[in-house]
Amino acid sequence: MPAAEHSPGRRAGHRPRTVVVIADRIDREGRHVSVVKINVLTVSEEMRAELEKRFAGRAGLVESADGFEHFELLRPVEGTDRYMVYTRWRSEEDFERWTQSQAFQRGHAEAARDAERAGGQGHGHGHGGPAAGAAELWSFEVVQEADPKPASG
């Protein structure tokens, strides 16, 4: 099985899906191998502030999900119109459970309602349309990682 995969672009408003990824593995040193999901959002210049506003006001439910390890929203700096929503999970199964959970559905529904009340479009899963013009989901296994070395002194 591939260690990483790339799902070609999806139409706006359609939830990206992922093919099988090896999950919940242990490396040679006996350490857990995490799974990374990157939701790549194509966002026009005029919708960037709206997208960031929606993420700033997100429900924050993912932080309590079993197996959740990390979240980052990455803004493009130059040469692209693609934001990346980076999440790290203990396993593929944990990620799948999250996307099928009531908390996931509730969080996205709340974001859509908040956007509608503010006169904007939906969060990306209906309710007036997405802030992103397209979305795709990339999946990876963490093969290597490094933490900062302690300062010597």
| Backbone angle region of 7, left / alpha / beta, with phi > 0 → left and psi within -120 to 50 → alpha | beta
Q: pTM surpassing 0.85?
A: no
In a domain, 93, yes or no: yes
Quote the CA–CA distance of 88 and 69 in Å, as a whole number: 5
Strands 10-11 and 134-141: antiparallel
Who wins on pLDDT, 75 or 31? 75
88 has pLDDT over 90: yes
93 has pLDDT over 90: yes
Domain region containing 120: 4-141
In a domain, 147, yes or no: no
Q: What is the pLDDT of residues 64-81, one digit of tens each?
A: 899 999 999 999 998 999
What rounded mean pLDDT belongs to the chain? 76
17 has pLDDT over 50: no
Who wins on pLDDT, 11 or 41? 41
Domain count, the chain: 1
In a domain, 21, yes or no: yes
pLDDT of residue 69: 94
Q: What is the pLDDT of residues 98-152, one digit of tens each?
A: 999 988 888 777 666 666 665 554 444 433 457 888 889 999 998 888 889 998 8
69 within 8 A of 27, measured Cβ to Cβ: no
In a domain, 123, yes or no: yes
Q: Which residues pair with 68 in a beta bridge?
A: 89
In a domain, 65, yes or no: yes
In a domain, 96, yes or no: yes
pLDDT of residue 86: 95
Q: Furthest-apart CA pair in the chain: how many Å?
A: 57
Can you tell me the mean pLDDT for 6-31?
49
Who wins on pLDDT, 86 or 146? 86
Percent of the chain whose pLDDT exceeds 70 = 67
CATH number at residue 106: 3.30.70.100
